[in-house]
Amino acid sequence: MNIFKHLAPRKCGFRGVMKSCRDACNSFLHSSPTTSVEVHSQEQEVVIALGSNVGDRLHNFNEALQLMKKSGIHITRHGCLYETEPAYVTDQPLFLNSAVRGITKLGPQELLGVLKKIEKDLGRTDGIRYGPRPIDLDILFYGKFKINSETLTIPHERIWERVFVMAPLMDLLGSAIDSDTVASWHSLSVHSGGLFGSWEKLGGESLIGKDGLKRVLPVGNRLWDWSERTSVMGILNLTPDSFSDGGKFQSVEAAVSQVRLMVSEGADIIDLGAQSTRPMASRFSAEEELDRLIPVLEAVLKMPEVEGKLLSVDTFYSQVASEAVSKGAHLVNDVSGGQLDSNIFSVVAGLGVPYVAMHMRGDPSTMQNSENLQYDDVCKEVASELYLRVNDAELSGIPAWRIIIDPGIGFSKKTEHNLDILMGLPTIRTEIARKSLAVSHAPILIGPSRKRFLGEICDRPAAVERDPATVASVTAGVLGGANIVRVHNVRDNLDAVKLCDAMLKWRSYA
């Protein structure tokens, strides 16, 4: 039964008519539990939950997302990725779970049909209820509608009891309700306080990392739980003009030797950069960057010592990112947050690797210009600008579960701004959470190592003399919530990280 056929969009001035129609529809649906509603006109915002525990779970997710897009579902937000213990039928493999928000012109029954077809195309059979499955796609919300038919119930009837559904659902929200539709989802909760109240009733954020619910980031061939300990990223500069060690590691032999040293000292990630991003640095072409990078990357990948380590490529060029990942790099670290190559978001989305989005205004040659150094509240403004870049990345197909954020210490920042950021990482998370809880949960990377502001404060003009100050800044950052530290001196900073992690763990037990 079609209640809406060609409903006029809001901008045409028929708000009163629309409201009356919707009220009538909702009243009709409440009184007729076997009736479905089809909406064939304006776009509706929907939430779809994803689960998989058979085969390559992440591949199943990626394929499902691509098929959804091709079927007329425009995905606008992604939740975090969770590895969860199975519910109801417990003798089966661990699940991956997440959820997405999107907009579609498909009616509810049409949408259900599309999702069922995707499940079938990806190998799902009827099987046992709540049993193993390559992909499970459930409609949690459809616009502002309540639907109760023989084939479809919206909101999904078991949202409120399933932690593995509620966690990614909450990720799709911001602490500030962002639309009338989202506000209506809160009102549909069976508990007081809306969705937030339902989530808190289950246990809320305290559940993450416990009771079979881990928030993870897929990288390489693993699912990384970054909450377990802070990771150390060792810097390998392959440029002649980097501010700290330019020219030292341009030969393949010297670069390999440095990687061997950093790995022996405990580095978790090696970040290879063949383009200097120091203030006033000249920009090299992607081709020249590749000429420096690829021979070293190929040599490093052959080293037995790097087995189990992650390799990152520090670049803002999509071409370099693509070539490096095709050779074996595991993640892309973009200091420009997508501002210096318009193709990098779509390219990284296709590569399927984690993406580090850093905050910077301008480019390395202009980032310290006066107009790029004006802030009223640096933490709030960095958070806002960084979120906009990440949102663009998401709309281009990079899920929130593959995003790492970097506030850009030293990039378009004065000394006092860098200090504010080191002390204000919780504020940055809180400000981002107002827009997207998923992005606010992303790992934070900081890179204060040997930066100029440390030399100014400590009167150390030579970059290599700034390691003690780097250790202090890393300590402040980790205690404030940083998950990855990018450093030149791995050994000393790893000691600082271990101590910070021990203190944080002890505090959580106290």
Catalytic residues: 451, 486
Residue matched to tokens 């400590």:
458
Quote the strand ranges of 220-286, DSSP E.
Answer: 222-224, 231-237, 269-273
Residue matched to tokens 């203190």:
503
- Coil vs helix vs strand at 332: strand
Cα 307 from Cα 325, distance rounded (Å):
16
481: left (phi over 0), alpha (psi -120 to 50) or beta: left
Quote the strand ranges of 191-339, DSSP E.
Answer: 213-219, 222-224, 231-237, 269-273, 310-314, 331-334
Cβ neighbours of residue 461 closer than 8 Å, sequence gap 6 or more: 455
Cα 155 from Cα 357, distance rounded (Å):
34
Please say whether the dihedral angle defined by the alpha carbons of residues 292, 398, 279 and 379, taken in this order, is positive or negative. negative
- Pairing status of strand 213-219 against strand 222-224: antiparallel
Residue matched to tokens 């190929």:
298
Q: How many CA atoms lie within 13 A of 388 on its CB side?
A: 10
Q: Which residues pair with 446 in a beta bridge?
A: 485
Give φ, ψ of 348 to 5 degrees.
Answer: -65, -35
- Pairing status of strand 73-78 against strand 355-358: unpaired
Cα 191 from Cα 146, distance rounded (Å):
16
Give φ, ψ of 102 to 5 degrees.
Answer: -160, 180
Query: Which of 19, 24, 30 has the alpha carbon at shortest distance from 146?
Result: 30
Is-contact 335 407, C-beta < 8 A? no
Quote the strand ranges of 238-341, DSSP E.
Answer: 269-273, 310-314, 331-334
